[in-house]
Structure 1
Amino acid sequence: MKLLIVTCVKECKDDVYKLFKQANINVFSATDLVGFKNNQTINLAEEWFARGDEQFDSLMVFSFTADENAERGLELFKNYNETHTPDFPVRAFMLPVEKFI
C-alpha cells in the first residue's frame, strides 16, 4: 500500500481528479491549501508596486491506494506536466505505508 499525495493550484483540480480516476484511484480526499512564494529580489525597483509575497489557492489531494495505482498515478502526473507545461506544475509524491489497521 502507498500514500499518494498530489498538490496543485485550484485551476488544475478537475484535471487532477480525472487523472486519479485514470489511475484507478476512486477513493481520495482533498483539502484546500494556501501556498506562498517569497521571491527575494535584490532589485528594489522590481518590487516598487508589489509586496513581493505571492499567495496561491492550492489543493492537496491524497489517497491510500495499491502500489500499482500509485505508480500509475505518478506516471500520469509526470505526463500531464510534460504535455501541459503549466506555470505551476502538479506535484506528486508516493510514500510507503508500513503498517495499517
Structure 2
Amino acid sequence: MKMVIVTAVEEYTDKVFELLKAADIESFSGSSVEGYKNLPPVLFNSSWFPREKSGARSSLFFSYTEEEKVGKLFALLKEFNDGLDSSNPIKAVELPVERFI
C-alpha cells in the first residue's frame, strides 16, 4: 500500500482527474489550496500591495492505493509534464504506508 499526493495549479485540476482515472486510481480525496513560492525581496516589494502575499490557486489530491497504480500515475504525469510549456508542472510524491486500519 502506498499514499500518493498530487498538487497542481487550478488550471490542471481536470487533467489530474483524467490521469488518476487512467492510472486506475478510482478513490481519492481532494481540496483547494493556495500555493506559494518564495519570491526575491525585489519582486515582493515591487507589488502594488507589498504587505500582501497572494498564492496561486491550486489543488491537492491524495489516495491510498497499490504500488503498481502509483507507478502508472507517475509515468502519465511525467509524459504530461514533459509536454508543458509552463513553470508549473503537476507534482506528486509517493509515500510508503507502514500500517493502516
Q: Which range, TM-score by smaller chain? A: 0.7 to 0.9
Unpaired runs of at least 5, structure 2 = none
Q: CA deviation at 1:32?
A: 1.0
Q: CA distance change for structure 1 residues 36 and 24 in 2, over 3 Å: closer, same or farther?
A: same
Q: CA distance change for structure 1 residues 72 and 48 in 2, over 3 Å: closer, same or farther?
A: closer
RMSD of equivalent CA atoms:
2.0
Q: CA distance change for structure 1 residues 31 and 48 in 2, over 3 Å: closer, same or farther?
A: closer
SS in structure 1 at match of 2:4: strand
Unpaired runs of at least 5, structure 1 = none
Q: Which residue of 1 aligns with 2:19?
A: 19
Q: Distance in 2 between matches of 1:48 and 1:25?
A: 41
Q: Distance in 1 between matches of 2:75 and 2:66?
A: 15
Q: Which amino acid aligns with 1:74?
A: F
Q: Which amino acid aligns with 1:47?
A: S
Q: CA distance change for structure 1 residues 82 and 40 in 2, over 3 Å: closer, same or farther?
A: same
SS in structure 1 at match of 2:34: strand
1:68 and 2:68 equivalent?
Answer: yes
Higher strand share: 1
Q: Which amino acid aligns with 1:75?
A: A
Q: Which residue of 2 aligns with 1:9?
A: 9
Q: CA distance change for structure 1 residues 48 and 75 in 2, over 3 Å: closer, same or farther?
A: closer
Sequence identity (%): 34
Q: CA deviation at 1:53?
A: 3.6
Q: CA distance change for structure 1 residues 43 and 98 in 2, over 3 Å: closer, same or farther?
A: closer
| TM-score computed with the length of structure 2 as normaliser | 0.86
